[in-house]
Amino acid sequence: MNKLRRKRGSTFIAAAMLMALISVAGMTYMSSASDVMKTSKRKALDVQMAQLCDAGVQTILRTYWRDFKNSQSFDLLDTTCANASLNSPKGTATGSLPGVGRFSASIISCVTPVGDSYSRQVTIRAVGYIDSNGNSALDSNEPAKIIDVKATYQLNRSQVFDYVYFVNNYGWMTGFSDTDLTMNGDLRSNGNFTFSNGLPTVNGTVIATQNEKLSTGVDGIITGTPVKWSNSTYATTQGGSYSFASRMRQAYDSSIHGLKTASTYDSWRDILFDTSGGVDDGRITGATLSDATGSEGWTKTTSSSTPTYNQIDPAPTQEVVMPDLGDISDYQTLSTNYVDTKATYADGTANPYYNQGAWVDVWNSSTNSYQRLSTNGNISGSATLVGTAAHPIKIHGPVTVLQDAVIKGNVTGQGTIYTGRNVHIVGSIIYNNPPDFRGSNATTIDNTNEKKDLLGLAARASVIMGNPNTFTSTTLQYMTPPFTKSRKDDNGNTIPAFDATVVDSTGKMKYKSVISDSTMNSIAEGINQVDAVLYTNFVGGGNLGTAGGGVTFNGSIISRDEAMVVYSLPMVMNYDTRVKERSLSKKPLVDIKLPRSPVLLKSTWQDRGTSYGS
Amino acid sequence: MDRKIIFAGILLAAAALSPAPINDARVKHPHVAPRSQAEVEKEQQFNGVTPVVGQVPKYTNEIGEESSKLHVMRSSEESTSDITQGSERSDRVAAMEVQDASKRVQAEASGSGHSWLVGVMIAIVGYLGWKAVQYKLEKSFPVPEGVRAASKH
């Protein structure tokens, strides 16, 4: 009996132990499974809430970017986000991703970096949460995630100055043969680009861009394939007696500029013409035809030869945002505050203008002396500036003219004239000390050209060439609709096409000067040479070469609509490489304070933590 | 005379056969002869500043219209998005949410520090408890001296 009891007892103990083991194993498994489920749920929540945070961040960034891109000023940011902090968030936005959750985002810091008035560093805090009870508010028991993003709104050197010819609405060249027009530089349009009724020579890249904001030309297509010289033809031409050979950028020659894999090439790459389009160091180099269908190199050395193409990159081109001079007071401030901070040039010689402000001086033949037209870098009213070789216009730094600047003749110095209305070019503009881009040593060339004359002309309204009092419908047709294009801004507002014949608040039609007709008639003459970088918010155009002898541009023209009518041939445009940003230094050789373009840089993204609620 | 006539005829024929004469010298135009340097020097009497004509707008928008405001934002009614921005209520709510969530996450982050403390406390209490049980067992079932001594060898 006792034996049986002991047997039963031991069996019971074994069974109990087995049950206990199974229970422990089961509980362990259950615990593990519930942990996995909890972790999975949290991971899913994490991803969802990160997306919600990103939506909040993008909402804030986009809102201020749209305004910044249009206005190209920090006014809205500065006004809205002054003294923003975590205890006082500014510029808030709320919203939802349907079926996921909601977000709230605010700017918790907006800082102007010391010594850099062209930047605003913004910190955005975004909260993404799962609105489980659907009350459109964050409750204490709801999961939430916080992310901080730092971004910088910046007015940077504009890419538009990398081109000898940049037109926002429509790039066009009509009626030119390969010997009539030679473009030694890169060409770009933020819409279509058309060569018609003849094919000019383009020793550089041509870019068209798809642009749905334009009323026409939205496809971003290049029509017509221009003639392009080989590197050897270009070098031979530059080495001969070609007019303004010294103002042409050089053609790539591996014996001078090094192999493309060599370090020597780095100091040349930004300022060369290379007829062979390709990819080097991850970026497209050499001359290409680039549009909405991608980029390709091409060969067409004579007007009669059939072009051949080689595909380089299927990626479509992107819009390059033009600077906007809408608020002239920004440039008045720039002129007032300007001080030349370059104590010495790159070769070690002293800069005679070091520590000086902005000014422009002209010769007065009545008093036989120079007179300073500017006061603290500004001119209230309009300015007439006529220079001669003996008594050139002298300029230093950015000078702002409240209305028109009427200019012709010889110029010396380095600077930019900003105008609240038009720039009227009424005769050739000629540097007294022009640069020379020839030579075999990049440093020597740069050191010499750094000190040579350089002029920028930037108009809030238009750059008009020739005597506007003599313009006929031949010219005006390109300054009025339907040739000029309407478009939409980034807020969806329609911007009607520019019309030069409309009268503005001065009582003058937009293409005419506020300077009297008699003065304009007295000083206007044919334009054969323009040594300047021209920038205009609206139209760049007018009559050129009316005195015969052709026209040579040594600089650039950047405009929204282009309306140049050329009355004598040939026409040549040479890009001035001194205003191009170099890859190594991220700066141009000479900084004449040209207009800037807005950019948005996202710098850091930081997860500040997650609450999974209860 | 004849030669000039023939030359003019060739030019006319070439012009007729050529592409549309938009951007070249064949367009009828006002011919303005270039000035001599001496003439331009005389023109320097025009150098100077002319007073402001008419009004000078603070801003011009993208079509050159003058205004006191640079750009007109598209009205929010046109927006198809449910994103709310700019109203007093939404600003206040969003700002509160940003602040509240920040505080909550911060509090929970510091809360995880207390958990560690609790863990350490449990470990200490557990260790002391085990020691107490060990003591109790030794008291209840004393090991004979001989066995203790033998177990040491």
Residue ranges of E strands in A211-282: 222-223, 250-251, 272-273, 278-280
Give all strands (DSSP E) within A130-186, no chain letters.
144-157, 165-167, 171-174, 181-184
Which residues have CB under 8 Å from A578's CB, separation 6+? A435, A449, A450, A454, A588, A589, A590
User: Has residue A15 got a pLDDT over 90?
Assistant: no
Residue B2: which pLDDT band, with cuts at 50, 70 and 90?
A: very low
Answer whether residue A608 shows pLDDT above 90: no
Contact (CB, 8 A) for B31 and A547: yes
What does the pLDDT read at residue A440? 94
Q: Which positions ≥6 away from A422 have C-beta within 8 Å?
A: A404, A405, A459, A461, A462, A463, A464, A510, A511, A513
In this prediction, residues A270-293 reach a mean pLDDT of: 91
Inter-CA distances, A58 with A65, A72, A144, Å:
10, 19, 18
What distances in angstroms separate CA A541 from CA A33, A149, B24, B137, one per listed residue? 75, 44, 14, 106
What is the DSSP-derived secondary structure letter of residue A225? Answer: -
Q: Does the pLDDT value for residue A236 go beyond 90?
A: yes
> Residue B4 pLDDT > 60, yes or no?
no
Pick from A63, A94, A524: CB nearest B94 = A94
Question: Can you give the pLDDT at residue A582?
Answer: 86
- From CA B24, how far away is CA A545, in angstroms rounded? 9
Instruction: Give dist(CA A489, CA A69) in Å, integer.
Output: 9
Residue among A46, A38, A43 at smallest CA distance from A129: A46
Least confident of A53-62, A93-102, A429-438, A488-497: A488-497
Q: Is A282 left (phi over 0), alpha (psi -120 to 50) or beta?
A: left
With an 8 Å Cβ cutoff, are A427 and B70 in contact?
Answer: no
Residue corresponding to tokens 């044919």: A526
Average pLDDT taken over every residue of chain A: 91
Cβ <8 Å between A523 and B46: yes
Q: Is the pLDDT assigned to residue B7 strictly greater than 60?
A: no
| Chain A residues close to B35, C-beta within 8 Å | 427, 525
Peptide bond into B21 cis (omega under 30): no
B50 touches chain A (CB under 8 A): yes
Confidence of residue B110 (pLDDT cuts 50, 70, 90): low
Instruction: Quote the minimal CA–CA distance from A416 to chain B in Å.
Output: 17
Torsion of CA A77, A79, A81, A83, to 10 degrees: 140
**What pLDDT score was predicted for residue A398?**
97
Q: Is the pLDDT of residue A600 over 60?
A: yes
pLDDT average, residue stretch A457-471 = 96
pLDDT for residue B27: 47
Q: What pLDDT does B149 receive?
A: 60
Q: Kindly list the residues from chain B whose CB atom is less than 8 angstroms away from the CB atom of residue A176.
A: 23-24
What digits encode the pLDDT tens for the residues A104-123?
999 999 999 988 888 999 99
Query: The tokens of A208 are what?
Result: 């068209």
Question: B26, B31, B37, B50: which to substitute to probe chain A, counting the most A Cβ within 10 Å?
Answer: B50
- Read off the pLDDT of each residue in A20-41 and give the average, rounded to a whole number: 83
DSSP track, A395-448: EEEEEEESS-EEEEEEEEEEEEEEESS-EEEEEEEEESS-----SS-HHHHHHH
Contact call for A467 and B32, based on CB within 8 A: yes
**Which of A141-155, A309-323, A568-582, B97-111 is predicted least confidently?**
B97-111
Residue of B44, B45, B64 lying closest to A504 (CB–CB): B64
Which residue in the set A108, A329, A493 is minimally distant from B58, CB to CB? A329
What ipTM was assigned to the predicted interfaces of this complex?
0.78
Q: Is the pLDDT of residue B79 over 50?
A: no
Strand partners, A376: none
Residue A506 has a pLDDT of: 92
Which segments of A244-336 are extended strands (E)?
Answer: 250-251, 272-273, 278-280, 283-285, 289-291, 294-299, 308-313
The pLDDT assigned to B1 comes to: 27
Q: Which residue in A156, A76, A172 sits closest to A600, CA to CA?
A: A156
Mutate to test the interface with A, among B26, B31, B32, B66 (most CBs of A within 10 A): B32
DSSP type of residue A270: G
Predicted local confidence at residue A416, as pLDDT: 97
Q: B102: distance to nearest CA of chain A, Å?
A: 7
For tokens 């603290």, name the residue. Answer: A376
What was the pLDDT predicted at A419? 97
Contacts of B68 in chain A (CB under 8 A): none
Of the candidates A502, A507, A523, the beta carbon closest to that of B43 is on A523
Q: Do B49 and A382 touch (CB under 8 A)?
A: yes
Assign A488 a pLDDT band (cuts: 50, 70, 90).
confident
What is the pLDDT confidence band of residue B114, given thresholds at 50, 70 and 90? low
Q: Considering Cα of A28, then A29, then A33, then A39, what sign does the dihedral take?
A: positive
**Residue A554 phi, psi dihedral angles, 5° rounding:** -115, 85
Asked if B95's CB is within 8 angstroms of A507's CB, the reply is no
Mean pLDDT of A586-594: 90
pLDDT recorded at residue A328: 87
Lowest mean pLDDT among A157-161, A466-470, A554-558, B37-41: B37-41
Distance in angstroms (rounded) separating the CA atoms of residues A325 and A419: 9
- Residue in B25, B44, B50 nearest the CB of A388: B44
3-class DSSP assignment, residue B122: helix
Q: Which residue has the higher pLDDT, A326 or A172?
A: A172
Q: Compute the nearest-CA separation of B44 from chain A (Å).
A: 6
B76 touches chain A (CB under 8 A): no
Tell me the per-residue pLDDT of B9-19, one tens digit each, with 9 for 90 and over.
444 454 444 43
Say whether B97 and A138 touch across the interface (CB within 8 A): yes
pTM (two decimals) = 0.77
> Is the CB of A89 less than 8 angstroms away from the CB of B59?
no
Which of chain A's residues have a Cβ under 8 Å away from the Cβ of B17?
none
Residues of B in contact with A104 (CB under 8 A): 93-95, 97-98, 101
Can you give the pLDDT at residue B71? 42
Structure-block tokens of residue A265: 């090439």
Q: A-chain residues within 8 Å CB-CB of B52? A: 380-382, 402-403
Does B94 contact A609 at a Cβ distance shorter than 8 Å? Answer: no
Closest approach of A94 to chain B, Cα-based (Å): 5
Question: Within its chain, how far is the Cα of A200 from the centroid?
Answer: 26
Across the interface, which of B41, B48, B63 has its CB nearest the CB of A498?
B63
Nearest C-alpha in A relative to B104: A611
Whether A550 has a pLDDT exceeding 80, the answer reads yes
- Locate A187 and state its tokens: 């060409």
Question: Which residues of chain A lie closer than 8 angstroms to B64, CB-CB?
Answer: 461, 498, 502, 504, 510, 537-538
Q: Which residue of A has its CA nearest to B46?
A: A384
User: Which DSSP category does B34 fall into?
Assistant: P
Give the per-residue pLDDT at B113. Answer: 54
Report B:112-151 residues touching A (Cβ under 8 A): none
Determine, for residues A63 and B85 on separate chains, whether the beta-carbon distance falls below 8 Å.
yes
| Pairing state between β A494-495 and A487-488 | antiparallel
Helix (H) or strand (E) holding A572: strand A571-574
The pLDDT, as a whole number, for residue A521 is: 94
In this prediction, residue B131 carries a pLDDT of 86
CA distance A10 to B76: 82
The pairing of beta strand B84-85 with beta strand A423-431: unpaired
Chain B: nearest CA to A264, how far in angstroms?
Answer: 42
Q: Strand, helix or coil at A574?
A: strand
Chain centroid to CA A279: how far?
22
Q: Give the pLDDT of residue B62.
A: 53
CB A288, CB A277: distance < 8 Å: yes
Q: Is the pLDDT of residue A10 over 80?
A: no
Q: What angle do CA A564, A567, A572 make, to 5 degrees?
A: 70
Contact A123, A113 (CB under 8 A): no
Q: Is the pLDDT of residue B153 over 70?
A: no
Distance, CA of A205 to chain centre: 17
Average pLDDT (A568-596) is 90
- Give the model confidence (pLDDT) of A310-369 as tens digits: 999 999 999 998 888 888 888 999 999 999 999 999 999 999 999 999 999 999 988 899
Of A4-18, A139-153, A408-422, B126-140, give the range with the top mean pLDDT. Answer: A408-422
Determine the pLDDT at residue A444: 96
Neighboring chain A residues of B75 at a CB cutoff of 8 Å: none
Q: Is the pLDDT assigned to residue A573 strictly greater than 90?
A: yes
More confident residue, B96 or A39: A39
CA dist B45 and B47 (Å) reads: 5
Residues 6 or more apart whose CB falls under 8 angstroms from that of A462 comprise A422, A423, A479, A500, A510, A511, A536, A537, A538, A539, A540, A541, A559
Burial class for A376, CB neighbours closer than 10 Å (0-12, 13-18, 19+): middle
Ordered alpha helix ranges (H), A416-546 = 442-449, 473-476, 517-523
pLDDT at B67: 52
What is the per-residue pLDDT for B68?
46
- Which tokens sit at A14? 């074994």
- Using alpha carbons, select from A147, A139, A152, A145 the residue that is nearest to residue A106: A147
Interface size between A and B, measured as CB pairs under 8 A: 286
Q: Is the pLDDT of residue A457 over 90?
A: yes
Give the nearest chain A residue to B21 (CA atoms): A175
* Residue A496 confidence class, pLDDT cut points 50, 70, 90: confident
Neighbour count for residue A261 (Cβ, 10 Å): 8
Q: How far is B153 from chain A (nearest CA, A)?
A: 34
CB contact under 8 A, A526 and B102: no
pLDDT above 90: residue B63: no
- A 10 A CB-CB count for A222 gives 23
- pLDDT for B75 equals 34
